[in-house]
Structure 1
Amino acid sequence: MASNPTRVFEHSYYIGNYLGGILYGLELFLYFLTLRKLRKHKAGSTRVRRFFAIYSTLALVLLTIDISCNAVWGEIMWIEGRELPEGVPQFIATEVSVWYQTLGSTSVVALIFMGDAFLLCRLFVIWGSNWLIMIIPILAYLAAFALAIIQLVVSGKPGGNFFGGKSINFGTPYYAITIGLNIVVTTLIYGRLVRLIGALNRSTESDKSLKFYTNAAAVFIESAALYSIVGIMFLVPYAAQSQTSIAFGQVWAKLTCICPQLIVLRMVSGHAWNRQRVTEAENSINGRLGSPRDNPAIDIENEQDSASRKSASLSRHDGV
């Protein structure tokens, strides 16, 4: 029996699609939970709440396009592709640049840049609006964007191949820069949070709500660590042009939507780090006394945090 040159690719594609379906279900759950939180918690300006709703909806639409295109391409490959003279290998060689597959790839690229832009905004907030810390990440973001456009154009041409050929020449540096950016942002956010958490823990304030900001899960989610870890797992086989990269790529693509959505959910729940909480921790680090400085850019989680404190204070007075 002749060996199948696309055997590894087919296995990887199937496994990636299966895991992608599971992660898509998780994203649906997070999305509707986010909308429920937005309806239930009315704190925050309408503009900010509308932004979270639009961002979450757009991310879900892009992920749905990716899932649908992969499912259709896989169905045609394994059912109709069997009837071709050379079977599935011929289908992969000739249909890898079909329009709906290119559409799916484009939706993933859009998700990546939406997620990265969101993480850059979180980095800016957590680092106390420090523009110096943003210079390198922003430059990397712009460079990756340019390479992504080139890769999509090259792979979308007739005879193009998103998984090999000339596309790899642009795809490898693109993914290397993108995932490198994820690692840098994750490291900066993680390091900053560890320092701020230490400051809050050393402060004299006794507040049970601190557990939402200082536990391990909070740091893991806020830093988007899983996004970076799986990105590395995808980049290594992709750069080596291994057919197994498609499975890791499918999972990583879904995390570009899920990880930012987890942060959004924490923000609308009032449990995410915000400018007010960062300022309090900075004041503790610098040994300053008194209330944190006023900040006009208070978003939804700031107002929810203040509202919860006022409610707790009123409850204590009522009980006296």
Structure 2
Amino acid sequence: MSAVEVFEHAFYIGSYMSGILYGVELVVYFATMRALLRKTTQVRSDRFFMAYSTVLLMLVTIDVATNAVWCEQMLITFASQTGGAAEFIATQASVWYETLSSTSVVALIFMSDALLIYRCFILWSSNYWIIFLPVLTYLGAFALAVCELVAAGVPGGDFFAGRSVNFGVPYYAMSIALNLLLTLLICARLLYLSRWVSTAMGAEGAQLYTSVLAILLESAAPYSAVGIMFLVPYARGSGVAIAFGQVWAKITCLSPQIIVYRVATRRAWDRATVEGAAASMEFVTAGTSTAQLSTIVVGKDTTSIPGGSESRLGSPLREKVARRLGSERSFNAAELPV
């Protein structure tokens, strides 16, 4: 099979996979908007997430639509003309709507990475040093992305070859390295905090935050994994890369959208959860092990401990626990992890 035929098959398969993921994105988007609009009390962050989700949907829609047109032109309209698909790829790779598609994907990547950096910042208790390297990498990737788009969009440019690839390989390598770094930082933090959240909320309530699935979704692990699948064949100049690239572009939209959905439905880690876990750590390390706790009462201001002393649970965490588990409930200390 020639390189052109490999590219045609990969683009076709990637388009179909993109259509499936686009449908999933639509479902998650409308579920997110429904959850945000049904909240009795609207806060400023709700309006931000509505706007953020809508922009994500608009960008991924542009990508899906323009790729569909380009695929139709390559496989149907120009297939019987002189030169066929090979001539079309060589002459139409820099057509305006394909450049628009590439630009929308780059915008998706930076919106997704920005959300991950913010989530990492929140999970690490607003520690600016922890996001210093990610922010530098983010800015470096942005500069390379602009160079790649300019090289691909000029007359005679080609997103899949030439100078565009020279900028594209380091750009995507840097972007995916940033994804991996943020994923590892978020996973490490969640695994570290999960024990203390279980202590403060009980095993049942903490399941929403400490399960394997929750950690994978919060860290956008699929985003990083598919990015690696795309980068390897892209760096080698293989036409197979376009199939993974199209899937990665949709995951770039879907991963942050799922995080926003979890925020909207109060399933995501937030400042209250992190502060509550930190309070739990401070309480336990102060000299009282979790095995010594007599009772943790969800929905109360205080937690009783032996000897008559009391330790106040953070109000934000208390309210969040009450919302997730419902009415007031007590947990036996013997059931809590040590």
- TM-score normalised per structure 1: 0.90
> Any conservation in 1 of the 2:205–2:321 contact (CA below 8 Å)?
no
Shift of 1:241: 0.8
| Count of paired positions | 304
> Any conservation in 1 of the 2:3–2:239 contact (CA below 8 Å)?
no
Q: Secondary structure at the match of 1:231?
A: helix
Q: 2:256 aligned with 1:260, yes or no?
A: yes
Q: Which has the larger radius of gyration?
A: 2
Shift of 1:292: 5.4
Shift of 1:303: 9.9
Q: Provide the residue aligned with 2:40 in structure 1.
A: 42
> Any conservation in 2 of the 1:186–1:225 contact (CA below 8 Å)?
yes
Q: Deviations over 1:203-255 (max 9, x none)?
A: 26536321111111110100100000011111111111111000000000001
Amino acid at match of 2:146: I
Q: Distance in 2 between matches of 1:234 and 1:292?
A: 46
Relative to structure 1, the CA distance from residue 204 to residue 24 in structure 2 (aligned partners, 3 Å threshold; closer, same or farther) is closer
Q: Provide the residue aligned with 2:109 in structure 1.
A: 112
Identity %, equivalent residues: 49
Q: 2:65 aligned with 1:68, yes or no?
A: yes
Q: Distance in 2 between matches of 1:32 and 1:106?
A: 25
> Any conservation in 2 of the 1:125–1:274 contact (CA below 8 Å)?
yes
Q: Provide the residue aligned with 1:92 in structure 2.
A: 89
Q: Provide the residue aligned with 1:313 in structure 2.
A: 328
Q: 2:145 aligned with 1:130, yes or no?
A: no
Shift of 1:308: 1.0
Shift of 1:129: 0.3
Q: 2:267 aligned with 1:283, yes or no?
A: no
> Any conservation in 2 of the 1:182–1:228 contact (CA below 8 Å)?
yes
Q: Distance in 2 between matches of 1:176 and 1:304?
A: 42
Structure 2 residue runs without a partner (length 5+): 287-309, 330-338
Q: Distance in 2 between matches of 1:68 and 1:244?
A: 21
Amino acid at match of 2:160: F
Q: 2:49 aligned with 1:52, yes or no?
A: yes
Q: Distance in 2 between matches of 1:283 and 1:149?
A: 44
Q: Provide the residue aligned with 2:215 in structure 1.
A: 219
Q: Distance in 1 between matches of 2:105 and 2:252?
A: 8
Q: 2:204 aligned with 1:208, yes or no?
A: yes
Q: 2:196 aligned with 1:175, yes or no?
A: no
Shift of 1:280: 1.4
Q: Deviations over 1:78-102 (max 9, x none)?
A: 1221233111100000000000000
Q: 2:143 aligned with 1:146, yes or no?
A: yes
Which residue among 230, 233, 248 is the counterpart of 1:234?
230
Q: Distance in 2 between matches of 1:127 and 1:213?
A: 15
Higher strand share: 2
Which residue among 3, 7, 30 is the counterpart of 2:28?
30
Structure 1 residue runs without a partner (length 5+): 315-320
> Any conservation in 1 of the 2:7–2:239 contact (CA below 8 Å)?
yes
Which residue among 170, 189, 193 is the counterpart of 1:192?
189
Q: Provide the residue aligned with 2:296 in structure 1.
A: none
Q: Distance in 2 between matches of 1:63 and 1:208?
A: 36
Q: Distance in 2 between matches of 1:207 and 1:150?
A: 50
> Any conservation in 1 of the 2:28–2:261 contact (CA below 8 Å)?
yes
Shift of 1:276: 1.1
Q: Secondary structure at the match of 1:290?
A: strand
Q: Distance in 2 between matches of 1:303 and 1:160?
A: 57
Q: Secondary structure at the match of 1:160?
A: coil
Relative to structure 1, the CA distance from residue 235 to residue 4 in structure 2 (aligned partners, 3 Å threshold; closer, same or farther) is closer
Q: Distance in 2 between matches of 1:117 and 1:204?
A: 30
Q: Distance in 1 between matches of 2:80 and 2:8?
A: 16
> Any conservation in 1 of the 2:152–2:159 contact (CA below 8 Å)?
yes
Amino acid at match of 1:175: Y
Shift of 1:141: 0.2
Q: Distance in 1 between matches of 2:156 and 2:59?
A: 25
> Any conservation in 1 of the 2:66–2:97 contact (CA below 8 Å)?
yes
Q: Distance in 2 between matches of 1:309 and 1:290?
A: 22
